[in-house]
Each structure stands twice: as C-alpha cells, then as structure tokens.
Structure 1
Amino acid sequence: MNRITDLNDLRLFAEVVEHGSFTAAARSLGVQTSKLSRRVRALEEELGVRLLNRTSRSLSLTETGRRFHQHCLALVAESRAAKDFVDQTRSKPQGTIRISCPVGLLTSGISTIIAQYVQDNPQVQVLVDATNRRVDVVEEGLDFAIRVRLPPLEDTDLAVRQLGLSVQILVASPQLAARHPVPTSLESLEEWPTLAMSSSSERFAWNLVNAEGRTTSWAHQPRLATDDLASLRIAALRGVGVAMLPRELVDADIHAGRLQHLLAGLATTPGLVHAIFPTRRGMVPAVRQLLDALVSGFEDLNRK
C-alpha cells in the first residue's frame, strides 16, 4: 500500500495555504522558508502531482491541490481534536466563560442549569449577557450564544450544538378559568382576556399544532403585550389573561396548581434551543462541560 512518508508534510502544506505564502507560513511555524519550500516540493514529487502554482508574486492552488487541501484540513482537525481530548483529561474546568442568552430562556430554566454548573465548578466564572438582541459571538468575544429557532436552522459558518427543545403551551390561573366555560378550541377563547409577546406590527396571533400535526391559528387582541416572558407569567398568575408560555417556564406552576394547562392537545412547533460558537477547535474544558450540562439539563426539563 502506498503511503505518504511524512504526514507532517500535509500539515506544512495546509499552513502554507492558510497563510497564503511560504514566507508567512515559515514565520508562523518558526522554520526557514527554504526548508518549508523543500518539504512541500518533496510532497508534490512523492504524490506525482503539482499542488501549488508558484510565481514570484503569488501562490495559488491547482484544482488537485484544492481538493487535496480539504483532506489535509480534515487530518489537521482530527489531530488537534485528539490532542484536545488528551488535554481535557488532564485539566479541570477553570477560567472565565462569556455567553449570551435571551432573557426568556434564562427564566425558563437555563439560569438554574448555569447556577448548578457554577456551584459544581468553583474555579469557573460565568459571565452571562442576558439580552434578546442578536449578538455576534466573534465580534463580541463570546464563547457561545444560546438561541432558539424554529427548524430548520439557518446556514452559518459558526459551529452549532443543539441543547434541547422548547414548546409553548396555553395557561391560565384557576381563578380566571373558573369564570369561563372550559375551552374546547382556540376560538372558544373568544371571551377570555389574553396576554401576548410584543409584536412590531401590533397584530397578534397564536399558531398551535395538534397531535396530528395540523396547525390552528387564532388572532386576538391581548390586554397586555411585552417581550418579557417573566412579566407574562406574573400576569397569568394574577389572572389577567390567558398566556402562551414555554412549558419549562410554567411546569412548576402547573404542578403546584397556580396555573392550569388549557387545550392540552395543542402546543407550538418545538423550537430548537442551540448554542453557536466560533469553532469546536481548541474549546476549553470549562466551555465544553458547560455545554454538556446544558444538554443534560434540557433533557431533564423535557422529561417533566
């Protein structure tokens, strides 16, 4: 079986391509430019193909070189992943983690998961930016940002890890429910006061799915609209109106009898709760284990 004599040459070739020149790559690697050039030339001779087009002013990949480079990157990534694995077994979680999370998700259970993680890992500091704005994890220097979106997720150059699912359900206080007939459909809520998340168009509608996958939509005019889920929950607890809230946010209230689950056969399409981060490469143990804790925590929330 034919094998490349020195797999390290593949890494050197990938470094040349990444830096765009032999000089820049040699400077980064701390080797002589002439030595680096000889190694790449020897690799081409061993393969029997030309990988790079060289001129005095520029460097470019041949078509074969372009495809070969993709395989080199995979090899480099796997070698780094192997080293990361070993490093993680030798290092305890420590240092500072910077993350971003929507306020509603924090209220719905993520804050509890993070608090438990910090308690279990005394050498870790977690800085949470609680915001509903769309953050740029790279520009803002975040380790990851948590988001919830309906599937499918948009294409992105960032790495993505799914944490769990989030569905919203209709709830009302027992006091409010006692003043109205038991609802049998969304339309039967016509006489009930409602609450809603804010809408820029000031048009409000609930879109819910039944067990057969059929979507039911109902437009309504809420007595209170806000982009703060905690405020909606408080208003629902006080009997101001019916609210559509994340199940994990109100599960304890339902079990304690503070809220009632209305139209139990209807719920929103599950949203994908996920973390986005610049790259999986070089992720420190503290960040990786926090992501693991979030996945495990959401599994517990979804089982309730």
Structure 2
Amino acid sequence: MIEGLTITMDIQDLNNMRLFAAVVSHGSYTSAATELGLQTSKLSRRVTALEQELGVRLLNRTSRRLSLTDAGKMFHRHCVALVAEAQAAKLAIDQTRASPQGVVRISCPPGLLHGQVSPILSQYMIDNPAVRIVLDATNRRVDVVEEGFDISIRVRLLPLEDSDLAMLPLAKSHRILVSAPSLIATQQVPTTLDELRLFPTLATAHASERYQWHFLAPQPISFEHTPRLATDDLATLRDAALRGAGIAQMPKELVQDDLNKGTLIQVLPELTTPEGSVHAIFPSRRGMVPAVRSLLNALATGFTASSSTDQN
C-alpha cells in the first residue's frame, strides 16, 4: 500500500492495474496497446482513470518517454504482484481442468458401498493418486447441492421423480426374496405367498410403517406382512438374513456374492418385482472438474464390468 493512501477499487480498477503494469513493462502506450489489442487512446484513458481513482500521478509523460513517479514505482510493484497472482490462479484452474486432482465428496448407501462401490473407489484412488475422496456412507437422502456433495449414488424404484440434478445410470436394480439355508431347513420350502406367511420376514423401513412387497409376475400382487426387523440399513438387513433371522427382500446386486457362495438362497424365484435404478446424481455436467468426471466414468465402467460378471 502507498503510505497515506487508501485504495478502494472495483473489478474494473483491478484490470486498470494490469494495463498500467503492461504500459510500464513495454515502456510506451503504443507498444503496450499493440500487445494488448487496444487502441492507444483508450489505454491512455484507462491509466489516467486509475491515477484519478488513486489521487496521485503514476507516470511522468514527455513526448519521447515515460517514467515512473515515486508513487508510481511503489504502486507498480503491487501491480506486478497482482498480475503474477492472477496468472498463478489461472494456471491452478487450468491444471485442475487438465487432470484429475483435488477432493471429491461422495455419498453412497452402506449396502451398495460394501457390495460394489468400495472396490471401484479403491481402484480409482490407486489410478489417480492426486485425488482425495471424502465418503459419506449413509442411507439418508442427502441434499447434493446444499450439503456440497459432488456425487450421490442412489437406488430408487422406477420411474424416477423429476429433478434439476444431472443423473448417470449405473445399473438396473432387481429385488429378490432371500433366506439363509438354515431358516429354510426348519420347515418346508415356501412355494406360494401363503406358505411364505409361515416364515419371519425382514424389511426395509419406511415412514408409513405399512409393509408390503409388490410383485409383477406371474401376476401383479402385494404381500402385506409384519417384519421382525425393519431397518433402513441394507447391511444390517443382509446380516440378519445371513444369520437366519428371517426372509428378506434385497437388491440382487447386494446379495449376488452370497447367492454364489450358497450362504443365501433365493426364495420364490418365479416372482418378479418392479425394476429399480442404481444411478449417480450430481449438480451439473457444466464446469465439471476432471476428478468428478473421471470418477463418474470409473463408476460406470465398474458397474458394467460387475454386471457382465454376474451374467456369466
């Protein structure tokens, strides 16, 4: 700061400081105007306006040369520093746009995280060492914009509600009835919904506290029941099913590994349920930084590979 001088400037004045620094650097208005692509008269007026704003003369003008006043010398040092900081800021943004780096905030339901998303995130961090991930494992519906999330992974039944957010489909979701072999072994395997009523059930909790499983085939029907356990934590629901506490309706993608191992078996496989969607929600595609874009691509690739493996 120039001693004894208080400077109050808006954005236009900051640009005038850049123009003033260019005039000093080139040694003349003509050379600086040519480099900046401005008219010499306009450049001169901008520097004069800056001097009037500051209330001091910055340049001594003669017909042959320009020279800095003492105040101009002080002020020029600050202008050069300002231009350097502006260039550094632009370079930082350019680097951010050029390669994945920085922090990505993401939310994901714990069940889906443990089943499919966690390996994708781990591999992504190995492939992109300059990216940090802040992960919120939660079943609650986060507000992506208000809470500052870059990505939120959701599992919802179709059709999805309208939203101003951008969406990337990752996979289709199908719910199936599953049970531990130990539970089924205690009595006859259920072959109808009436026989299913003889078994304890486990369900996803919701506000209405009215529990129904909806099926589309072989004909549309709803199965109303009173679960022994109702929870919004799919990981807890899966664990209870694995331990034989009851029959649960679970997203197939979350229990596929258990089905492959035989630790869970599918019950009434002929019953089909409404299709759901696993998808990523994010604020906008416009201005998306490479770290977010590349992580979305990694999620899409990872889910596609997982789906292909399950079908083989």
- Report the counterpart of residue 288 of structure 2 in structure 1: 283
1:1-304 matched pairs, under 5 angstroms: 91-210=98-217, 214-303=219-308, 304=310
1:279 is matched by which residue type in structure 2? S
Query: 1:90 Cα deviation (Å)?
Result: 8.3
TM-score (norm 1): 0.66
Contact 2:258 2:264 in 1 (8 A): yes
- Report the counterpart of residue 53 of structure 1 in structure 2: none
Query: 1:260 Cα deviation (Å)?
Result: 0.6
Distance in 1 (CA, whole Å) between partners of 2:298 and 2:95 is: 16
TM-score (norm 2): 0.65
1:168 is matched by which residue type in structure 2? R
Whichever of the two has the greater Rg, that structure is 2
* CA 1:158–1:267: 2 relative to 1, 3 Å: same
Contact 2:166 2:282 in 1 (8 A): yes
Q: Which moved more, 1:219-228 or 1:198-207?
A: 198-207
1:283 is matched by which residue type in structure 2? M
1:190 is matched by which residue type in structure 2? R
Indicate the SS of the match to 2:278: strand
1:226 is matched by which residue type in structure 2? T
Query: 1:293 Cα deviation (Å)?
Result: 1.3
Unaligned runs of 5+ in 1: 1-23, 32-86
Query: 1:189 Cα deviation (Å)?
Result: 0.5
Distance in 2 (CA, whole Å) between partners of 1:89 and 1:250 is: 38
Query: 1:219 Cα deviation (Å)?
Result: 0.8
2:134 is matched by which residue type in structure 1? L
CA offsets per residue over residues 248-292 of structure 1, 9 Å max, x none? 111111111111111112243221122222211121221111111
- Report the counterpart of residue 45 of structure 2 in structure 1: none
* CA 1:181–1:149: 2 relative to 1, 3 Å: same
CA offsets per residue over residues 144-179 of structure 1, 9 Å max, x none? 222222222222222222122221111111111112
CA offsets per residue over residues 5-41 of structure 1, 9 Å max, x none? xxxxxxxxxxxxxxxxxxx9x96xx69xxxxxxxxxx
Contact 2:139 2:233 in 1 (8 A): no
Distance in 2 (CA, whole Å) between partners of 1:172 and 1:88 is: 51
CA offsets per residue over residues 55-74 of structure 1, 9 Å max, x none? xxxxxxxxxxxxxxxxxxxx
Size of the aligned set, in residue pairs, is: 223
* CA 1:90–1:286: 2 relative to 1, 3 Å: closer
CA offsets per residue over residues 167-203 of structure 1, 9 Å max, x none? 1111111111112222222222011111111233322
